[in-house]
Structures are given as structure tokens and as C-alpha cells.
Structure 1
């Protein structure tokens, strides 16, 4: 089979227009490669991170359909940006020459590795396959189907394979569909349904492609081989795959991957389990694969660079060859062929499951957030409510799982204690972990430093001592994964059963159930002080006494159907966007009696995020669901301060401290915005590229902004200067379950910061000196 792409430098000569000097604020350095749709350049961020910047060809920039497709690529890449993909740093799909910047990674593509060194042996093949299956699992969990998985779109990084190029991917809820009469993909790695039913392509198509990729890795050729893409298409649909040369132990699994019927193929999760199980069997021939820590090597410039792996600039180049490129059926002649554009991946920073690069503070966090494109108003309203719900939920929680193991002091000597002082605090970590569970990140809430209450799969609730992590009690098995952390209300610990069916109030001293209520018919369960508020989809609310469970009042339609609700700061707020999203009606409800205190119409489509004693923070979303402004509503005067963001944030989360709002998007850019007044240009106090691409809601306390990353690291940023000043080590679970659908925000109490991680641990560090973490 001809090579899938050029591995040499980008073809020359390029037209002068193909060599722009800048993409946005990034100066473009060397050209890494080119494909049918764009050119990839090396660039650097302001903090020195190496970036791969894809700039589309000038001829495509004038094509409205292509712009829509490129916007879709940007949103898909942001949606899945994490440990197994290319974290998106910045993008501008509306620029004169649309572009997207992702973190650069040192490492060759799988295509280059096979071409240069020959087929992979069985142990290495299993390691690559297991990592690739884990990548697909997280991509699919984010609701995205890649649709063009092939060896040139798999980067072999030091910490495992990375999937790049989401140029033709589709979120499951995307409004952008493949046009009638067009078929897009790379034939040797396309599933039969991509040729027959392109509108119905789902995750199983990526599993088929993964099977073909592993055959290529094992043999140097694909399971369907021809110089003609049309012959390849016929073979994919009608012929059995050629598996000659595939290791015997992998034949049954790859046959299942390459089944013609999508229903007969394994899921990515099943693939990962079978391949990892095989790795253990190969241990006698080689070490079982565990992603190793990256060691920072001091370079000539005093910075740090990745160890293990090649320079790999080709790993983010692109190219195209006849017969194997992206094919559009129905075009003149033999069809237009376009090679897969290169994305980039998480180099230059710390990776999930690896050591942290303190200089860059970057993260290749796992998982994905719900990105979206332009939507009709009803769906748009649903997405805004969902995003707001996650933000509000993340504000309350910080992490649970089964089988509690006692707290253990962290490594390192304790601080010296003076005579007469209380024992010095020593950082600790306790593990809540169920080996059979899928999401091990605990969900916890701190009771002003007196206790830590956590929920988890298999554990309804547990009480931990915040001083040392020791377990006071655990309250039975939950029978599933909790959706929220425990909440303190009416002197009791409230937990919602998995699935949201029942609310239970537990004794904080013993964990015994004091009362319970069926909440399955309610869209929201909110807590405001000692009041529990149960809200239906049509805006009817029922209030319960948090101490006894007795009903206090019921009021019909306190807000418009579908309104967003927020209970915070001793009050309850509602926000209902107008059908055309031109304004939002914000209301305040008294939790004591259900009386509507006031309503205010505020410009834009707004989501309530946080309430303080005197203000309500809301985020404004544009037509593409990017957060374009922060809005501070004075709850006494109803005065509104709207501060536009200099760079709109995707899937933004925020926290307000005084008149400063700290906003972070899925790309990891944390900004401090002053809402006190003055020009919008000067409102942004600072901006920090954290490199964390899947992150919790920020928490501001004691002059720091705290964040939890998807790999379990806790980050501390100086709130005044915008400088990363502290970071804990990653806390993964050995690579089995690295997707966290919800990242709990850290909690701060009594000079301690409490956080949780995917390995099932709850841990505490001292808040006053993050540099010593």
C-alpha cells in the first residue's frame, strides 16, 4: 500500500500567501507540513510552550462550507481536548485565514514508526492498542465520532498514543451533517457504513478503523489494500479482511473490530479491557505497560524538554497521497483527495499520569466537555441550562468511590512544631476506591474544617477527619455512582442516591438515616441554608425542612419552564432566557416562604454561576455558546455591570471574589476580570495559560485561585499576579479509568485545601505555601 502521507518537509514552493507570519498573536516559525486543507506551523505561546498552529489554505478561507467545517473541527477538538488528544490552546475560525493552535508534542506518527522501523511486535502492539482504545473511549464519551482514524492520525507520545485531526469528526448532537452524495474519510480505514450510510455513522465506525490501524501496525499494510480508493471501498463493504501476519493472539479481537455489522464490534471500553488483559500476559516477555513519568531535562536555555521519544515535528505534519487520501464521491474525475490535517498534542507540559513540568504547568487532562456549535434556540437553552448545572454542581462538590482505606500521611517530613502549639498539620491522602468502578474521583464537601463528607460509587457517604484523613464512619453501599457530593442542611448530611431517585438525610455523627424523600419527579434538588428546594421542569417548587423533611411550602411556576436555578448565599435565583436570547429574566426567591422578591430583565443569554452576600455572578453566552462576558448583578440595587471578555471562553467556569471574577475555559486559559468599572480594555487584570484542558471550577481563597486538573493535580495561582505558584503530583489510577465526567472543585477550610483525584484519593495540603506542595 502506498504510504498514507508524506513524511518529509512540506512541499515547496508554496505560494507566498501560504506563508503568513502570524496566526492571531502567535508568530509562526518553521513549517511542519501541509495537507489538502491547511498548513501546520510551529509556534510558541507567551509562556514558551511549543504549539502546532494549523492555518487553512487561502483558497478554502473564502468557502463558506469549509469555514463551517473548520469551525466544527475546532469545536470537536475542544470538546475532546485531553490526555489522549491534542489540547486546544487557541483558535479563530472567523479570521481571514482561519487557524487553530494546539500544544505540540514530540513523537512520530504510527505511520512513520511502521515505515521507519517495521511492524510492531505483539507486546508493543497491545500497548499501543490499549492506549488507542482508551483514547477512543474518552472521545466517544464526549459525544464525538472521529470518522478518520488512521496511522497518520495517531501520534506515539512518550506517555502513550494521541489521536489528532478532528477535521471530519462529528459530535452526536451536531447540526452540521454530511451532504447528500458526498463521502468523506480515508478508504482503507473507513467502516462499511461510512460508504453505505454516512449519515448514520457512530462510534462503532471508529472501532472498525482502529482494527484496520492495528492491522497496519502489525503488518505494514492495511486489511483492505489497493491503489484505487474505489476498489478499497468495494473490499471494505464486501470482502473479508486480509489478516495475514497479524499475531495469532490478536486475530479474534481484530476480526471482531472489522465485522461488517457495527453491532458485532466491541466497544472501545471492551477493547481496552481485552488489550490490557493481554498486556499482563506478555509481562514475561516485557514490562507491563504503565505510562512512565516524564523527567524534565534542563536545556541550554534553562527551560525543560520532554524526555523519551523523538523530536517528532513530523508527528504534526500533514500530507496526502493518491488513492489513500480523503475522498469526495461525485466530484469530477477520480474524486478530490485531501490528506488528513494534523492536529497537535500535549507536549511541553505535564501529561496525565506523568510527572509535572513546573515550568510550563501544562496538563494533558483526560476527558472532554460539552462543546457545541450554533443551535436553534430550544436546544441552545437546554445546553445553557446543562452547562450552568455543571458549573453550579462543581461549585458545591470536591469528590467518592467504594472500599474506604484509611488516611495515610503524604511523603515528606512534617513542619516543626513549637512547644505549646497544636500538632503541625501534615499533608495526607485517603483512598476511596472500588477496582470495579468506572469513575473513581470522589465527591466531597467540607464542613468548615470540622469534617469532610464524601460520596462515591459503592459508598453512600463517608466522614473523614480533615486533620489526618481518618474515617469516622461510612454509610452503606450506594449501588452506583453518585451525581453530587453530600450537602450539609438542617444539621444533617444530605445525599442524593445514584440516578437522583431518593434524597437521604444522614446523622453527621453516625451516618444513620434520619429521613428520606422520593425526588425522582423533580428536575432540580437545591439546598439553601436549612431549606431543601425540589423544582419541577415547569418551575413549580416544593420546600422541605432540611432537619425533619417536613414540607414547608409549595408554589407553582416561580419561574418560566426550563429556567435555570441557583441556590447560593442564603438565597435562590432563577434565570430564564427569552426565546430569541435577547434578554434573560433574573429573579430572586425567598427560600423561607417561596415569595418572589424581585425580577430583573438583563440583556443577553445568561447563566447564573455564583451568589455572594451582595451580588449575583452570571456568564453571558454568544450565538456559538462561547462565554463572551461576565455580568455582575447587584442584588440590592439591581445595578448591572457587564464586562466583555477579551477572548471568548469555551465551556467557561468562573468564581467571583469581591469585584474580581476568575474565568477559565476548556482551553485552560485563566483570566482575572475586574467588574468594578472602567474601560473594558483595562478590565482584564491578567491572563494565564495553565495548559489544563479539562479543569474544575476555580475556587478563590486566601489570595490564591485553586483548580483541580483531570489527572488529579491541584494547582494554585497567585490571584494578584496571575502566576502559577504551586502544583501537586498527578494522581491517576494506573490508566484504567482516566475519564472524569465531572471534575470536583477543591474546597478550602481552616488553612487547608482539600481535593480529589481519579485514583480514588481524597487529599489535603496546607493552603499557606503552595510552593511546597
Structure 2
């Protein structure tokens, strides 16, 4: 994980800005750094080790290794280091984190490689134990393909061990190949200290480093896979001499290796190098590359996600992680303004620091490679947008102006609903790895009107107005499963009573899809199901729910749900994997007047915190312990909406009758204290329109005045209805997009809550998807209207007797847009669901519109 920088640590290495410390190696320290877009002022900064300066892509993350002064002072070291950088630059593999720059002539020589945000294989096995057979097969096949690429380039790894295999969301990445050692370093030092890990050497290593061949790397890979499959070193432990002897004789203990793998790994560990399979053959024996998501077990996926969240938090802060004075924890100093979209190198991306004239040894095409996910980091105001990579010639489906493929970003967004991800920010990064395999545009119909939905990679799950859940396949719209948690068939209508009371059939909440899980809350029962099959994994009795917007909040391996009753509200945290109760907190006292009751429940999770509505307004709790961390100030106590974005949280009271203007507060995301002298200065024309916030990013805040709607008894005249884009720091108005007017025959359009995705604002009406590009400075461009085939179109209000209440299944309600993986699932209140590809602007590939509105693209 990331460590703070000491006071004497460098702040810049070559053309890279240093952000944190990753660790130390045999030659020196390793730092996390970010490309500045500025060239190194000293020569020799390209991968070839000499020549003119190179400017790396701004924002690209790298791991930079520096060399100890005593090693750098050896007479022959710099020549050797320069030669090693040049050789390593020949590596071109989607399964290896290749070097992207280096300088052997700097005062402190350095080498930069692609940064892989995830644990090493050693860390993952130590934490979670042996990996499943299917995972070991995919892991081994990926590393074998990396070795094949290395060997074709004339490079031997020479130090293949679990610590040199990093785990990313989409598979393993090999690091530290062909790197220079001190000229005095051999397999054994003069004092007999081993350089490397004995159990992951080959017999040739033990015999002498000059005898190492390509087959030696295969032997080491066999040892590594034994470790992954059993959690133990294949040559045992004990005295060093005994371990080395067993290695030299190829006497590996394979008794605990699963039978399905034993023969293949035994071949890798053959004593005679000629008897070992080639890397290409080994990849064939282990199996093809995964057709869909890499088969990491859930624990490893969570482990990888921790690295992504940590990186997101660091970059969202805007500055490096610094060592604090005694008595304080690490401090992040926000001294890097203006960062918006920060790319992370993904496998197969062109290495941007290689200039066309750099002596990298060859210039072969990099087309047709695997484009995989590195991090889907949804972060934050004041620091970043999404970490997105846009290779010039990336792969994937689609083409043309509207079908440019969304490119890889990093760890997957676990799920999205009408508020966006779990932070409620309304910002959803787009990640190519999340597009369902085999996806094509589709249209489907639910069995009843839709009433709140959530989508993930495995399923799209909707609540219906009759209190049930229905799940669809996000790739093609096929119905996967349905669930009705309420036994009483009479409880099948959702309505608003004559006095304004809201009744939701079955007390059924909006579902939450989170990775492979679907979390349901209905009829006083909390169920966690397999999102794909619908099989119940665990269930708890007692949780409450059923408000119009009530939903489970899922983050950090935890489910947060309301568990109170009419006497008082509570929030309880359960372990997502097995349903263990972790902690519970009261959100109200028991003597509140009925008029003071609100929906006391969790509303968002971010920054290691969970946010809930209490009788004191919004409160922040530590997600792991339940300890209170923050509370809104008195002037924000009446807030009903909360959007959390990195360092900031935005809240606003929602006034259905529009008797009061919009008041938008900008708060500290941890303490929920006010960050300025008062609410943002929202222009009067916007504030008085009845607008309410739906999305926020570092570039823009979005508020929506949905116009008059009979079922919420708005007294809005509709004079100012539409979508407003505001400055997230000041509240100043940047743009306005009206809602389509009422048709001459009385039919009307309503629009979905607008979300921010990539570098655009996205929302839908009953006929089309609406996309507004957002420039780097937050200024919006011209709205583009993209028709949605199969959409129901504008509709007239249904006439029926409303004296006994407003039946929500018969009312015209806004659609929902659920954007994920470059695809938008548009859910209409009628139960029609249409899945379409997002236009280019919504993926982050649109040109900057910083100068203001631009001309609309023609359809």
C-alpha cells in the first residue's frame, strides 16, 4: 500500500511528480509518481537511456525505482544500467508492466514502469490463501504469455517469484524483468547471502547465473503456480542449504497441488531444461485467456479494490502523501490544482514516453491487443474525475462517430442506480471491461411498471410498482429471475394517499447491485442474492424500508440498511459475504413528534464512511466501526439530498411544493462541516425554479427542475424547468437545458435525473438520450439529442379517480438512465427497458469545449 514521503524524499524524478512511497528494493527506493507533461531537463530520459528529453503523458501513473548512491557510484554500473533499460524497452506485452522511461545518467539513476494498482501474488496468497484451480490456470496462462513476449524480445526475467507478479482487475502483470543488478551481484554474494527467493529459483540459478536460460523462467513459473495453488513454497523451508539442494535436484513436493494441475506443473519443474514446455505450449496447456472478467475470487477482487480506493483518495486530495510530524498520521498536502481526468496505463496501451525516434529496438504495431481494466476510480471534487485511458488505436467493438469504443479505466464500478454509484455523486466512470460480453442493443419489458433500478455487470435489477423484483441480463435483456418477498398477494400497489402518505407495495426498497451480489430489502427482510442466478446467499429478518427512495447502501464489503421502526430509526451494518452483523447505530430518539419524522436511513458511502439521515440531519460514520465522524452544521440540518464527491459533500433541502428556493451547501466530506462562509451562491433564477441536485464532479454540479408533476403536487409553473449546470465551487450558472415542452395534443416528456459520465452530462426523456459535453473548465457545450429506438415516446396523463389516492403505477414518472461500460440502460416507467451504446461525448473522448458551447454534431 502507499506510504508517506519522508522529508528528504524527492518531489520530482525526471519528468515525474512523486506522490507516495511504494517500498524499497535491492537497488533503492520505489515511488508512485505521475507524469507532469513536462520533459526531463537532463539528457537520457527515454527508454533507450540516451538522447533528447521526453515528456510523458500528463497524469499517467508510474512506479519509479531509484538507485542507491553507493550502487550508482560503481564504475561500470551506469553502462550496465543503460544497457538494461534499452533491452527492457524491447518488451511489448499486455501481460507485463513494461518500463516506460529511465535515465542512467541522472545524479540518481531511475527507471519508470507502468504502475499496477493491486497487490502482488505473494500478498494476495498470504492474505487469502490458495487460489482456486480456475484462477491458477488463468494466472499461469497470462504469465506464460508474458514470458513468451519477453523471450521473443530476447529478454529473460531471471527473478520470477510471487512478489514480482502484480494482480490487476483484469489479470496478472509481470514486473521487474531484465533489470540491472550491481556488477558485484551474482546468485550468491561473497558473504553467502542469497539474492532472490530460494524456493523460486531454478537449478540453473543455483548452478550459476550465467547458466540461466528461457527454460529457467518456465521452471520458476512452475514453482510460482505451485505456491498459488497450495499457499506453500514448493521446495519447503528449513536451512538454506537444504532448500537449495532440493531446488538443484528439482525435488518439488507436489502432493498438495490439485490433480488437475499436477501434471502440467510437474512438466515445468523437470530437472532437464529440455523437458520443460515452452511458454507458448504452457499457455496452451493451461487454457485460453478468459473470455469475460478475469476469474479472481471475491477476496482477491476486494484486495485489488483497496489499492484502487487508496489511489483514488490520494489523487482526489490533489497532492502527495507526506510523512507527518510526530503524533500525527500521514498528511496529504493539496498543492496540485487543476487535475481533471487522470489516465492510468492499461495493458496493451502504447507507452507514451517512447518518442518515434527513440531507439527502442523495433517499431512493431500495437493494434489488436487486449484492452483491459486498470482502475475504475470514481473520485472527486477538487482533485480528479475518472482515471481514463484512451489509446490512439484501442480495440473493442463499434466504430463511427457514435460508436467509438469506450476505453479501459480501472477497478470496476460495482453498481449504479439513479444516484450513480454508492457515493450518491451521480458521477459514473465508464470502463470498457464492464461492457457485457456479446452486448448488442436490446429492448425488453418488465412484468409491471418500473419503480427504481440498479445495474451491474451481472444483472440489471428493478423494483416494480407491485412490490416485486425482476432481473434482466445486461448483455441481451433476457429475464434472469424474479422475486416477491411478500407473501400477501393483496399488497401489490404503490400509491400516495389523500393526506400525502407514501405506501410502497411490500415495503419494497430500490435494489442494489454490487458486483456479483443483488441486495434486496422488502417485507421486513434483507436478502443478498447471486445477481446472475437469483440464488439466495443469505437473509435477515427485521430490516425496514419501503420509502420512495429507500435502498440498501453497499460499499467496502458491507451492506448498510435501515432497521428501525415507527418508534425510532436505526442503521445496521452487515457483512456482504455472509450476513454477519457488524454494528448498529440509532439515528433518532424515541420521542420525536410524527411531523419531525423523516426517512432515517443510510444514503451514501465513500471515503471509508457511511452517511445517514438522522434526527440531527446527515451524519457520517466510520464504515468499519460505526464511530461517528461528522455531522452537518445547524444551517444544513434540513438537507434531504446528499452527494459525496472526494473531499466535498453537497446537500440541499428538497421542497416538493417549491415554497422555498434551492439552497446548496458545500461541506467537508469527512466532518460535514461547512467549507465556506455559507451556501453556494446559486443564481436566483435557478434557486427559485424548484431545482434539486442530481450529480456533481470536479468540473460541474448539476441540478434539475423537473417541472410540474401531478403526483408530487408541485406548484411549479414550469417557467424555469430544465437542467442547470453550475460551478461546483461557487454555484455560478454555466448552462441551462430546457425540458421538451408539452405537445399540442397534451402529451408530455419527463426527464431522468441527469448523471455525469466521462466528460459529459447524460439524461433521457421518453424518446431520446440527451448528451451535453462538459469541458475541462466545466463549461457545457451544445446539447445533443440521440433517439432511442423502442422508447415509448411522449405520453398523455391517464385520467382516473384520484380522490382515493395517486396510484404510482398509473402515473407518468421520469425514466432512469443507468450508464455502465459505455452502455446506457434506459428504464421507462412503463416497464420498457432499452439498452443503447453511449455516444462519444459520454465516454470522455469528446474534444474540450472549454471555450463555451460548440456546434451540434449532425445525426
TM-score by shorter chain over 0.5: no
Higher relative contact order structure (alpha carbons within 8 Å, sequence separation ≥ 6): 1
- Larger % of strand: which? 1
TM-score range, shorter chain: 0.3 to 0.5
Larger Rg: 2
